[in-house]
A and B are shown apart, each in its own frame.
Chain A
């Protein structure tokens, strides 16, 4: 279980972004987190992944404080180009995380032809898949996925989430953060809503009250490529 216990955080002397937030993501679970822009979703994500340190409270991974070495909690966010060294080739970027899992590489659609290129020589969507492949090493037990599919085309979104769902089936715990209620509705096993620094559970009926869940295109979000209009 990836746990946040009563964590609070503020940037500098500003008012706290999060106050007393507790959250748990179990192995094999996909927890969907939504909330308005600027409410602290990404801050919570960074705290869970160890990119930031909380003012109070604790982040525990399977009951223990995170040890040194490969972090079992990996973080992937929307801006893939910030997560890779712009002076490294794709091959070197992937090698930094250890040997590449060929099956996962094929599943995410990462081509070997990109390995000789620099990050700015492939597209944003391609780079996002590279970053996901890098984060999903064999020692990763939890993935904090912060709007990971926001910049991908619909077919690739489906492929990426199918790969992630397969991983979750094999025991990976995922915290999926998104503005897209339809996406979370389809992939999440449980949903949470962050607002004004507090987490609220989202039940089936509450889903409709939040955001644009009722808008026409949301219900049609395709999980199978076959569902896509020609």
Chain B
């Protein structure tokens, strides 16, 4: 029985080690991607993730430090609402970059952004769209303009949703 306990101890130690190794690798990848995505989305600036306790990789928390162009580096909680949302989007994109998903549904995540940021958001999204299929739900003009296909949901009859499809490419042809 004592032997069993010993082997369990060894197993836990093993797991801890591989967790630390993976976490370190994952953190480094995400941090790198996050910085890159942030820079592209904000058109400058700098952002990174910081560990609360770099000595204890098993338990440490993670904080987000962001520096939009022309401002000094600060914690996420000190940024303006739109910047906060955009930073969070940058982090989500960084996750997608590190761990690509074959398809992804985004439900009005860009609602808090201004028009210029929506444009950058959409441009970046189109770049990501090469490896991930995106289905975006949106109210923003900028996003709609960039769409290849628009799906309109209406409620002509109360309580019942209907679907309309508009294909932008075809529309372009027709207009031409």
Answer whether A and B are interacting partners: no
